[in-house]
Amino acid sequence: MTTIEHALLGINGALATGLHRRYGWQVVALAGLVAISPDWDGLTLVLGPVLFDQAHRVWGHSFLTCGLLGILIGVLDYRFDVVTRLANVSARGLRRCGLVLPAEQGLGSLPLRRERTVAGYAVWTLVALAAALSHLAADLVVSGTATLGDWKLQLLWPFSTEGWIYPHVHWGDPGMTIIFVMGMLAMYRWRNRLQVIAAATLLGVAAYIVVCGALG
Ligand SMILES: [Zn+2]
Protein backbone atom coordinates (compact mmCIF):
# COMPACT_ATOMS: atom_id res chain seq x y z
CA MET A 1 0.00 0.00 0.00
CA THR A 2 1.12 3.54 -0.63
CA THR A 3 1.78 5.84 2.33
CA ILE A 4 -1.50 7.70 1.88
CA GLU A 5 -3.47 4.45 1.70
CA HIS A 6 -1.79 3.20 4.89
CA ALA A 7 -2.73 6.45 6.66
CA LEU A 8 -6.32 6.25 5.42
CA LEU A 9 -6.54 2.64 6.58
CA GLY A 10 -5.54 3.72 10.10
CA ILE A 11 -7.85 6.75 10.04
CA ASN A 12 -10.86 4.75 8.86
CA GLY A 13 -10.09 2.02 11.39
CA ALA A 14 -10.14 4.53 14.26
CA LEU A 15 -13.31 6.22 12.97
CA ALA A 16 -15.02 2.85 12.62
CA THR A 17 -14.55 2.24 16.36
CA GLY A 18 -16.40 5.47 17.18
CA LEU A 19 -13.65 6.47 19.65
CA HIS A 20 -13.49 9.98 18.12
CA ARG A 21 -16.80 10.81 19.75
CA ARG A 22 -15.25 10.44 23.18
CA TYR A 23 -11.58 11.21 22.54
CA GLY A 24 -11.75 13.71 19.68
CA TRP A 25 -10.00 13.90 16.33
CA GLN A 26 -6.62 13.38 18.00
CA VAL A 27 -7.13 9.64 18.44
CA VAL A 28 -7.95 9.38 14.71
CA ALA A 29 -4.87 11.40 13.75
CA LEU A 30 -2.74 9.16 15.97
CA ALA A 31 -4.00 6.07 14.11
CA GLY A 32 -3.14 7.66 10.75
CA LEU A 33 0.33 8.60 11.94
CA VAL A 34 1.16 5.21 13.46
CA ALA A 35 -0.23 3.36 10.43
CA ILE A 36 2.56 4.81 8.27
CA SER A 37 5.30 4.57 10.92
CA PRO A 38 6.72 1.09 10.02
CA ASP A 39 7.95 2.49 6.70
CA TRP A 40 10.67 4.42 8.56
CA ASP A 41 12.98 1.63 7.40
CA GLY A 42 12.51 2.97 3.85
CA LEU A 43 14.31 6.16 4.92
CA THR A 44 17.51 4.10 4.87
CA LEU A 45 17.48 4.96 1.14
CA VAL A 46 19.34 8.18 2.02
CA LEU A 47 22.18 5.99 3.31
CA GLY A 48 22.50 4.13 0.04
CA PRO A 49 20.74 1.42 -1.97
CA VAL A 50 22.62 -1.47 -0.34
CA LEU A 51 21.42 -0.64 3.16
CA PHE A 52 17.95 0.21 1.83
CA ASP A 53 17.75 -3.19 0.22
CA GLN A 54 18.66 -4.86 3.52
CA ALA A 55 16.51 -2.69 5.74
CA HIS A 56 13.34 -1.72 3.90
CA ARG A 57 10.33 -3.85 4.80
CA VAL A 58 12.51 -5.68 7.31
CA TRP A 59 13.66 -3.53 10.24
CA GLY A 60 10.32 -1.78 10.74
CA HIS A 61 8.09 -4.59 9.53
CA SER A 62 8.32 -7.26 12.23
CA PHE A 63 5.76 -7.74 15.00
CA LEU A 64 8.39 -6.69 17.55
CA THR A 65 9.73 -3.47 16.02
CA CYS A 66 6.41 -2.41 14.50
CA GLY A 67 4.47 -3.05 17.73
CA LEU A 68 7.05 -1.38 19.98
CA LEU A 69 7.33 1.72 17.80
CA GLY A 70 3.54 1.98 17.59
CA ILE A 71 3.14 1.77 21.37
CA LEU A 72 5.98 4.28 21.88
CA ILE A 73 4.34 6.79 19.54
CA GLY A 74 0.98 6.22 21.25
CA VAL A 75 2.34 6.85 24.75
CA LEU A 76 4.43 9.87 23.71
CA ASP A 77 1.49 11.35 21.81
CA TYR A 78 -0.86 10.97 24.74
CA ARG A 79 1.69 12.45 27.14
CA PHE A 80 2.78 15.41 24.99
CA ASP A 81 -0.24 15.79 22.69
CA VAL A 82 2.02 15.68 19.64
CA VAL A 83 -0.77 15.68 17.04
CA THR A 84 -2.40 18.82 18.45
CA ARG A 85 1.00 20.56 18.48
CA LEU A 86 1.60 19.47 14.88
CA ALA A 87 -1.87 20.77 13.90
CA ASN A 88 -1.11 24.14 15.54
CA VAL A 89 2.32 24.44 13.93
CA SER A 90 0.99 23.58 10.47
CA ALA A 91 -2.00 25.94 10.82
CA ARG A 92 0.35 28.80 11.77
CA GLY A 93 2.66 27.89 8.89
CA LEU A 94 -0.23 27.90 6.42
CA ARG A 95 -1.36 31.26 7.75
CA ARG A 96 2.13 32.66 7.30
CA CYS A 97 2.02 31.49 3.69
CA GLY A 98 -1.05 33.67 3.27
CA LEU A 99 -3.66 30.93 3.49
CA VAL A 100 -6.73 32.09 5.37
CA LEU A 101 -8.11 29.50 7.74
CA PRO A 102 -11.49 29.77 9.47
CA ALA A 103 -10.67 31.57 12.73
CA GLU A 104 -13.66 30.29 14.67
CA GLN A 105 -12.21 26.76 14.79
CA GLY A 106 -9.24 27.97 16.78
CA LEU A 107 -6.80 26.54 14.24
CA GLY A 108 -3.25 27.44 15.22
CA SER A 109 -4.09 27.73 18.91
CA LEU A 110 -5.92 24.52 19.77
CA PRO A 111 -5.68 23.81 23.52
CA LEU A 112 -3.31 21.01 24.54
CA ARG A 113 -4.45 18.03 26.62
CA ARG A 114 -4.17 18.95 30.30
CA GLU A 115 -5.67 15.96 32.04
CA ARG A 116 -4.39 12.48 31.46
CA THR A 117 -6.01 9.29 32.70
CA VAL A 118 -5.01 5.64 32.84
CA ALA A 119 -7.95 4.86 30.53
CA GLY A 120 -6.66 7.46 28.08
CA TYR A 121 -3.19 5.91 28.05
CA ALA A 122 -4.79 2.48 27.51
CA VAL A 123 -6.91 3.73 24.58
CA TRP A 124 -3.93 5.49 22.95
CA THR A 125 -1.74 2.39 23.37
CA LEU A 126 -4.34 0.00 21.95
CA VAL A 127 -5.24 2.26 19.02
CA ALA A 128 -1.54 2.72 18.22
CA LEU A 129 -0.87 -1.01 18.38
CA ALA A 130 -3.85 -1.81 16.13
CA ALA A 131 -2.82 0.89 13.64
CA ALA A 132 0.75 -0.43 13.55
CA LEU A 133 -0.45 -3.98 12.92
CA SER A 134 -2.81 -2.75 10.18
CA HIS A 135 0.32 -1.72 8.29
CA LEU A 136 1.72 -5.26 8.41
CA ALA A 137 -1.64 -6.77 7.42
CA ALA A 138 -1.86 -4.43 4.42
CA ASP A 139 1.74 -5.07 3.34
CA LEU A 140 1.08 -8.82 3.47
CA VAL A 141 -1.72 -8.67 0.90
CA VAL A 142 -0.72 -5.63 -1.20
CA SER A 143 2.63 -6.41 -2.78
CA GLY A 144 4.65 -6.39 -5.95
CA THR A 145 3.97 -4.53 -9.18
CA ALA A 146 3.41 -5.59 -12.78
CA THR A 147 7.19 -5.68 -13.25
CA LEU A 148 8.55 -6.28 -9.73
CA GLY A 149 8.11 -9.40 -7.61
CA ASP A 150 6.47 -9.54 -4.18
CA TRP A 151 8.14 -8.32 -1.02
CA LYS A 152 8.17 -10.85 1.77
CA LEU A 153 7.78 -9.58 5.34
CA GLN A 154 10.08 -10.97 8.00
CA LEU A 155 7.48 -10.80 10.73
CA LEU A 156 9.66 -12.45 13.38
CA TRP A 157 12.79 -10.37 12.69
CA PRO A 158 15.33 -10.21 14.37
CA PHE A 159 14.71 -13.73 15.72
CA SER A 160 14.03 -15.30 12.34
CA THR A 161 14.47 -14.25 8.73
CA GLU A 162 11.60 -16.37 7.47
CA GLY A 163 9.41 -14.33 5.13
CA TRP A 164 5.64 -14.24 4.61
CA ILE A 165 3.56 -12.79 1.79
CA TYR A 166 0.00 -13.35 0.52
CA PRO A 167 -0.17 -11.09 -2.56
CA HIS A 168 -3.71 -10.18 -3.61
CA VAL A 169 -3.34 -6.70 -5.10
CA HIS A 170 -0.40 -4.97 -6.77
CA TRP A 171 1.27 -2.07 -4.98
CA GLY A 172 -0.03 1.20 -6.46
CA ASP A 173 -3.29 -0.34 -7.72
CA PRO A 174 -5.74 2.59 -7.90
CA GLY A 175 -8.80 0.59 -6.79
CA MET A 176 -8.25 0.98 -3.05
CA THR A 177 -7.48 4.69 -3.38
CA ILE A 178 -10.74 5.18 -5.28
CA ILE A 179 -12.72 3.44 -2.51
CA PHE A 180 -10.98 5.55 0.18
CA VAL A 181 -11.71 8.76 -1.76
CA MET A 182 -15.36 7.78 -2.17
CA GLY A 183 -15.48 7.25 1.60
CA MET A 184 -13.97 10.71 2.22
CA LEU A 185 -16.49 12.35 -0.09
CA ALA A 186 -19.31 10.54 1.71
CA MET A 187 -17.93 11.76 5.07
CA TYR A 188 -17.87 15.31 3.77
CA ARG A 189 -21.49 14.97 2.67
CA TRP A 190 -22.79 13.17 5.78
CA ARG A 191 -20.63 14.51 8.60
CA ASN A 192 -22.61 12.95 11.42
CA ARG A 193 -22.29 9.45 9.91
CA LEU A 194 -18.49 9.11 10.13
CA GLN A 195 -18.48 5.81 11.97
CA VAL A 196 -20.74 3.89 9.60
CA ILE A 197 -19.08 5.39 6.49
CA ALA A 198 -15.62 4.43 7.80
CA ALA A 199 -16.81 0.88 8.49
CA ALA A 200 -18.32 0.67 4.99
CA THR A 201 -15.09 2.00 3.46
CA LEU A 202 -13.04 -0.67 5.27
CA LEU A 203 -15.45 -3.37 4.13
CA GLY A 204 -15.19 -2.06 0.58
CA VAL A 205 -11.38 -2.13 0.64
CA ALA A 206 -11.34 -5.63 2.17
CA ALA A 207 -13.83 -6.89 -0.43
CA TYR A 208 -11.77 -5.34 -3.22
CA ILE A 209 -8.62 -7.07 -1.96
CA VAL A 210 -10.39 -10.44 -1.70
CA VAL A 211 -11.95 -10.14 -5.17
CA CYS A 212 -8.63 -9.08 -6.76
CA GLY A 213 -6.94 -12.04 -5.07
CA ALA A 214 -9.62 -14.43 -6.35
CA LEU A 215 -9.43 -13.08 -9.91
CA GLY A 216 -5.66 -12.65 -9.97
ZN1 LIG B 1 5.35 -0.98 4.75
DSSP string of 122-171? HHHHHHHHHHHHHHHHHHHHB---SSS----B-TTTTT----B----B-T
Identify residue 16 by its one-letter amino acid code. Answer: A
Distance 31 CA to ligand 1 centre (A): 15
Let me know: does 155 contact 63? Beta carbons within 8 Å: yes
At residue 35 the predicted structure's pLDDT band, cuts being 50, 70 and 90, is very high
Residue 153, beta-bridge partner list: 164
Distance between Cα 97 and ligand 1 center (Å): 33
Q: Which of the two residues, 76 and 56, has the higher pLDDT score?
A: 76
CA 44 to centroid of ligand 1, rounded, Å: 13
Reported confidence tier of residue 102, pLDDT bands at 50, 70, 90: low
38 vs 94: CA distance, rounded Å:
28
CB atoms within 10 A of CB 138: 21
Neighbouring-strand partners of residue 164: 153
* Arithmetic mean of pLDDT, 199-211: 98
Dist. CA 58–CA 132, nearest whole Å: 14
Q: What are phi and psi of 107, to 5 degrees?
A: -60, 130
Separation of 197 CA from ligand 1 center, angstroms? Answer: 25
Mean per-residue pLDDT for 98-102? 72
Mean pLDDT of 136-161: 91
C-alpha 135 – ligand 1 centre gap (Å) = 6
